[in-house]
Amino acid sequence: MTVDQVRLEVRRVSPADPATAPMMAELTHEYVTRYGERAREEMARYPTLVFEPPDGTLLLLVEGGEPVAGGAFKRYDERTAELKRIWTAAGHRRRGLGRRVVLELEREAAALDYRRVYLTTGTRQPEAKALYLALGYTPLFDVDAAPPTSGPLPFGKTLPCRTPPYEEHWT
């Protein structure tokens, strides 16, 4: 079943909302499984306030009352939102939910007058790398080079602007 065939509710929530618990627990487990115990530090790196308006947002996709996907962004700089915590519940993968989360976050960021989106993913998350490339993100690293053994893989994307048009390029 695809995302278009299912009614999903998009909820803006506070990071403190109990509905975010499955997202945070599963992300922590997944990151620790892929990257080791140091991943717990990444999950605790930012105060929850950075994911709340007016500079950030946390969204959940809810199906049948249960969160099935989600993600957040925070201010990276004056014109750029940084996507974080993109998640799809393990039992709901391969349905296009991650794509939907990213598109919803982009829409929310543009509504807050961000002009760009920045994100990083890890070298042990090839499915995330493929998703961002498929959604038109510009890799800010050499995709033809052997993948680094550590360190993030950064991506950027210019959002459609709502106010005076301008052109920007990622380098």
3-158: what fold? Aminopeptidase (3.40.630)
- Average pLDDT estimate for 135-157: 86
Is residue 43 exposed (0-12), middle (13-18) or buried (19+ Cβ within 10 Å)? middle
Please give the share of the chain, as a percent, with pLDDT higher than 90.
79
**DSSP bridge partners of 57:** 73
Name residues whose C-beta falls within 8 Å of residue 84's C-beta, 6 or more positions apart in sequence.
Answer: 46, 51, 71, 72, 73, 74, 119
Quick: pLDDT tens for 91-118.
999 999 999 999 999 999 999 999 999 9
Q: What's the pLDDT score for residue 3?
A: 53
Q: What's the pLDDT score for residue 106?
A: 98
Quick: pLDDT tens for 150-161.
678 999 999 986
